[in-house]
Amino acid sequence: MTQHKIVTAAILAIGDELLSGRTKDKNIGYLAENLTIYGIDLKEVRIVADDQDAIVAAVNALRMKYDLVFTSGGIGPTHDDITADAISAAFGLPCVHDAEAMRLLGAMYERRGIEFNEARQRMARMPQGARHIENAVSTAPGFIVGNVHVMAGVPSVFQAMVGWLLPQLPTGVPVMSRTVVSPFGEGEIGKPLTEVQKNHADTSIGSYPKFDGNGFYTEIVVRARDEAVLQAAVADVEAMLDAIRQTRDSARA
Amino acid sequence: MTQHKIVTAAILAIGDELLSGRTKDKNIGYLAENLTIYGIDLKEVRIVADDQDAIVAAVNALRMKYDLVFTSGGIGPTHDDITADAISAAFGLPCVHDAEAMRLLGAMYERRGIEFNEARQRMARMPQGARHIENAVSTAPGFIVGNVHVMAGVPSVFQAMVGWLLPQLPTGVPVMSRTVVSPFGEGEIGKPLTEVQKNHADTSIGSYPKFDGNGFYTEIVVRARDEAVLQAAVADVEAMLDAIRQTRDSARA
């Protein structure tokens, strides 16, 4: 089996509003999809409250375990935005008003004739020595400390930050995937599909039941990092479905 | 401050397809919203792959820490559905074909003239002694072991299971919430809102920036378990916004 370079990642979404169900998260799915494109393997996602102990525990668990950690939420100007403090605490670093962030934000508010008050200055706070993640939408930067990438929760801002950040990260060999739609439910294909998976151990074959109101059909997704490996497994999945069709036809005949 | 009965919970969503971004999760937001209605405090969410070690580690961490754990995904009939095995392993219980589940599924397939084959029988597997969670959509039950509630990943089935399950759970005093829309961005209200939060320590005040293309406005959400406590804080938030409006008007005059 070919050895491919693997880069692993976790996402930590932060916010009471996600846990109350008031806000339906859009950032996890968006970043998950983009990490797949860049060949970064997302291994785990957590959502925690705006609570310093919960954020510190989660970020420390995840940064030790995975190559890259991405957070969303809690870097705005109000009292419930405590992500910069919590990430600083997790790294044992002081949380400071970053000089360059103060300059960027100060200039932006001056241009717009808006007071750069204490609350707005909170958005310049980050762990001492952190690098910036550019924010093309509303200026206030995200930041990088160690392997942790801290971004905004507002989806338009989060997406702009992801767009700036991803091309700069170490990436792995992307996983390719092919979907084969099976008209048969999982109960029908379960056993033969297990055989196909066993015969193609260097692929990952997922089976996703879909319910359309009348009954179940199945989307079979084959994943691999090598095109030839992928094609061989897809061919066997298709042959398996043909075999089921023929068995049904001969039963009817 | 009144002591209210608090019931805490975590959600564990299981599935490679959620981490690849191929499927955008709908179950977390749905259950989060319903838990809030029932007065159950959702404290943490995790998403992990169809990987036994990852599922065991997550479910054991969460069931020790919270009163209730809810899982979604991985209880179908195919090789990648390993949640029943993983939950059994987490509890050190044998994973068996449950007699009552075999009977329910067997009868359903017989009615429909469909073979109750080995793959379909997999859906009757659960930790020995587990109780069922009813599945009004497609019969195959979810199950309860200890404080862990294992449900399907297909949203229509998940929702049916949640609908059956929630009325039977221990619930807390629901958190009430009121939303005040602020025309001012977070930078404007940040400092006075911090004061309001300090003066109403038995409420939780969240501030959610919204970006409408022209600029930011803010939704301020006040939460409390007591109506009088809630109203007093909401009144102070509204007074705070009036004060900002008056300052602006007098600056223009």
A136: tokens are 């093309």
Write down the pLDDT at residue B2.
Answer: 52
Question: Residue B33 sits in which domain range?
Answer: 7-168
Residue A238 within a domain: yes
Question: Do B81 and B187 belong together in one domain?
Answer: no
Evaluate if residue A1 carries a pLDDT over 80. no
Segment 196-235 of chain B within 8 Å of chain A by CB: 197, 204-211, 216, 221, 223
- Residue A57, classified by CB atoms within 10 Å of its CB into exposed (0-12), middle (13-18) or buried (19+), is middle
Q: Above 0.95 for ipTM, yes or no?
A: no
Write down the pLDDT at residue B172.
Answer: 83
Question: Do A108 and A219 belong together in one domain?
Answer: no
Question: Do B120 and B19 belong together in one domain?
Answer: yes
Question: Do A194 and A112 belong together in one domain?
Answer: no
Q: What is the CATH number for A205? A: 3.30.300.100
Domain boundary among A137, A168, A199: A168
Report residue A3's pLDDT band, with 50, 70 and 90 as the boundaries. Answer: low
Question: Do A127 and A16 belong together in one domain?
Answer: yes
Rounded to a whole number of angstroms, the distance from the CA of A81 to the nearest CA of chain B is 9
Q: Do B189 and A29 touch (CB under 8 A)?
A: no
Residue B2 within a domain: no
pLDDT in tens, B65-124: 999 999 999 999 999 999 999 999 999 999 999 999 999 999 999 999 999 999 999 999
Q: Total structural domains in chain B? A: 2
Question: Do A189 and A237 belong together in one domain?
Answer: yes
Among the residue ranges A214-223, B8-17, B100-109, B217-226, the one predicted with the least confidence is A214-223
The CA–CA distances, whole Å, from B172 to B36, B40, B225, B232 equal 10, 6, 10, 22
pLDDT in tens, A167-188: 999 888 888 999 999 999 899 9
Nearest by CB to B44, from A34, A47, A177: name it.
A47
Question: Do A61 and A127 belong together in one domain?
Answer: yes
Question: Do B149 and B206 belong together in one domain?
Answer: no
Domain boundary among A138, A168, A198: A168
| Residue B23 in contact with partner chain A when CB distance is under 8 A | yes
Question: Do B123 and B234 belong together in one domain?
Answer: no
Residue A1 within a domain: no
Q: What is the mean pLDDT of chain A?
A: 94
* Non-local CB neighbours of A189 within 8 Å, separated by 6+ positions: A182, A207, A218, A220, A240, A241, A244, B78, B119
Q: Do B45 and A44 touch (CB under 8 A)?
A: no
Question: Do A71 and A192 belong together in one domain?
Answer: no
| Averaged pLDDT for residues A145-158 | 97
Among the residue ranges A84-93, A107-116, A195-204, B213-222, the one predicted with the least confidence is B213-222
| Averaged pLDDT for residues B24-39 | 95
H/E segment holding residue B107 = helix B99-111
* Phi and psi at residue A137, to the nearest 5°: -85, -50
| Averaged pLDDT for residues B169-175 | 87
Write down the pLDDT at residue B1.
Answer: 46
Q: What is the CATH number for B142? A: 3.40.980.10
Instruction: Give the whole-angstrom CA distance, residue B211 versus residue B199.
Output: 28
Domain boundary among A152, A168, A184: A168
* Phi and psi at residue A113, to the nearest 5°: 65, 30
Question: Do A204 and A84 belong together in one domain?
Answer: no
| Averaged pLDDT for residues A207-227 | 88
Residue A156 within a domain: yes
Identify any residues that bridge with B47 across adjacent strands, giving them in sequence order: A45, B13
Residue A2 within a domain: no
pLDDT in tens, B176-223: 999 999 999 899 999 999 999 999 999 999 999 887 777 778 999 999
Which candidate in B26, B115, B208 is best for mutational testing of the A interface (most A CBs within 10 A)?
B208
pLDDT in tens, B212-250: 777 778 999 999 999 999 999 999 999 999 999 998 888
Question: Do A34 and A92 belong together in one domain?
Answer: yes
